[in-house]
Amino acid sequence: MPVVSCHHDEGDSLWLWTMKDVMRASVGVMGESALGVTEKVVFLDGKCHVLKRFRTVCVQRKVFAQRIARLASLCEQCAYLVPLNAYLYSKRFKFVVCDYYPMGSLHDLLLGPRKLGHTPLTWNERFKIIFQIARAIAFIHSQPRQDKDLMVINIHGNLKTSNIMIDIDFSIRIANYGFTQLATEICDVDKQKAQSPPSPLPPENNIDKLLSQKSDIYHFGMMLLDILGGPNALISTQRVFERKEDILSNKFEFFEFPYEGTDKMQIFKVFDIAMACVHRLPQVRPTIENILLYLCK
User: pLDDT tens across 132-156, in order?
Assistant: 999 999 999 999 887 666 688 999 9
Supply the pLDDT for residue 7: 61
CATH class of residue range 4-98: alpha beta
- Mean pLDDT in residue range 193-218: 66
Which is higher by pLDDT, 24 or 119? 119
Domain boundaries, the chain: 4-98, 106-296
Q: At what angle do helices 264-277 and 288-296 cross, to 10 degrees?
A: 170
Task: Kindly list the distances between the CA atom of residue 185 and the CA atoms of 52, 151, 155, 160, 202, in Å, as whole numbers in the listed order.
Answer: 16, 16, 17, 18, 17
Supply the pLDDT for residue 218: 95
**pTM for this prediction:** 0.85
- Burial category of 215 from C-beta neighbours within 10 Å (exposed 0-12, middle 13-18, buried 19 and up): buried
Angle value at C-alpha 64, between 90 and 66, nearest 5 degrees: 130
Could you tell me the sign of the dihedral formed by the alpha carbons of 180, 185, 190, 193, in that order?
Answer: negative
pLDDT band at 201 (very low <50, low <70, confident <90, very high): low
- Mean pLDDT in residue range 206-210: 54
- Name the DSSP letter for residue 114: I
User: pLDDT tens across 14-37, in order?
Assistant: 445 666 666 666 667 888 888 888
Supply the pLDDT for residue 116: 76
Fold classified for 106-296: Transferase(Phosphotransferase); domain 1 (1.10.510)
Helix (H, G, I), strand (E, B) or coil at 262: helix
Interatomic CA distance for residues 180 and 29, integer angstroms: 20
pLDDT band at 159 (very low <50, low <70, confident <90, very high): very high
Could you tell me the sign of the dihedral formed by the alpha carbons of 151, 153, 157, 162, in that order?
Answer: positive
Supply the pLDDT for residue 227: 95
- Mean pLDDT in residue range 83-101: 90
Element (H, E) at 39: strand 36-42
Task: Kindly list the distances between the CA atom of residue 170 and the CA atoms of 134, 192, 225, in Å, as whole numbers in the listed order.
Answer: 15, 39, 19
Is the pLDDT at 226 greater than 90? The verdict is yes
- Mean pLDDT in residue range 195-205: 57
- Mean pLDDT in residue range 226-253: 80
- pLDDT > 70: what percent of the chain? 81
pLDDT band at 206 (very low <50, low <70, confident <90, very high): low
- Mean pLDDT in residue range 269-288: 95
Interatomic CA distance for residues 225 and 254, integer angstroms: 10
Show Cβ contacts of residue 116 under 8 Å, excluding neighbours closer than 6 positions.
none
